[in-house]
Structure 1
Amino acid sequence: MIEEKLIFLNSQSPRSGHNFVAEVIRKIVDCETPIGDRSEIPFNPILSVYHKTLNTYFSSGGSKAFLDDLFINDIRDKLLKNNTNVLIKYTNYTGAKDAKQIYKDDIHILSIRDPKDCLLSLFKGMKYKKGYKSLLKKMALPFGLYHYTFSKKYSDKILAEIPNVNDFFVIKYEDLVTKNEESLKQLINLFNSNISVEELKEKMDNVKVLNSSFYKEETNSKTMWEASEKSTKFNPVNRNKGFNFLQILGVKIGSKRLRKRMGYI
């Protein structure tokens, strides 16, 4: 990469292997993340609200140019002031198309993962509060009804946000986990990097696991947020262990439209 760029990484949810994707990008190209490597910045959602405001409320002629000059026009220079690429990551798709419209010459990535796997990871990491609502949820868990309703709401929310994927560079989490060579080549070419596929694979082996609901089963972490080496049991693709048939069926039915839209069925 010759000229420094903004790198926008948007994932469907916190349980989409988001941090792993970001770490792989860092292995390919030098970049800094504002605030810190784990930071999630709602930059694109703010742009979405900004555009919605401009298009919703009555304004005088020339107000857009005035407001763009006030709030938008010099942001890119401020972000790139250290003469290095800047990675801005966030765990949903809101505002991704707005950022693409404004920063046309920068890099815009959508990270996707099978919604079924994301949802099972979400369910695995759920904490239930005291009270009758949580009690009812716990009672309904074995029958898959809660899994279905939650999965449908999750899917509907993402379907309302996801932009046209043909306008973006799309990374499939599963392709990174399995080290799909064609996908790795495309990612390397995106950044015009000199790293070879084999070198990238070796570096990916050293990426630690972070924010996994299955940290007890598949990593050496003591908490979900502790970065740790993978164990030999680490297998984040198509997990089913710990869920019964009805629960998995509820997730599959509830997320069917989203899985179809993302090409998983």
Structure 2
Amino acid sequence: MINLEKRPRIAVHKFSSCDGCQLAFLNLGGDLLELTKRVEIMHFLEAGLDDPEAKVDIAFVEGSLSTQDEIERIHKVRESSRYMITIGACATAGGLQALRNLDNQHEQWRDAIYAKPEFIKTLNHARPIADEVRVDFELWGCPINSRQLLAAVNSLLFGVPPIDDRDKVCLECKRQQRVCVMVTEDKPCLGPVTRTGCGALCPSFGRDCYGCYGPADNPNTASLSGRFAGLGLLPGAIARRFLLINSAAPAFHDAGLIARSSDTGGESHD
């Protein structure tokens, strides 16, 4: 439990990522200003605070582990933090960087992209934070939203574990009385296997969920893959549905590889 006799200290650390989940902090706006009355932010480069070695009660970590330097640094962050919360798809499931894990062609891709590849010191595989150190709680999403973030902080400040919402997006659509885009428009929606947290944002605007919040509890990916095939998607297109933002999450990773293994080389479509 966090000692509330003095203001708890928090830090926000960046690893390999786009900074989108850190922006969820800044997007709190006035709520962030109110939060700073209850906590002391020690390190948060996006907000101009630079003290990466500060001892803190809660460390938020964005980004995947993509370099040897990051692996060494995450151990230091873990040692200096009482609680560690990973935020976003990169930190929880490797993110888009983990796409390079699929074909073991990292060196070929690196050499094709960079004029001086010898200066690029990345690992062959991008990894989520929990693969290397103990993580106390994960906030999924690409990006996470500010409501999730504030709720997690408030829970810890009140001495209770944050709520780990693993419901499926389909349940959120039902709660909002949204019409199912897969049933009514034959769109290949990942809502039946994806955890909610986004508020069913994409289906609310008539488009299919693309799984940015990662696998929900007990995702029946085999059944959904069969449904996608019934909608006319070929194996390559089905694999791409799963192997995108959360390709290193086991449920999506396995479903994608199963679909790829059945691909006979035909032209696939979305």
TM-score w.r.t. length of structure 1: 0.36
More helix by proportion, 1 or 2? Answer: 1
TM-score (norm 2): 0.36
Structure with larger RCO (C-alpha < 8 A, sep 6+): 1
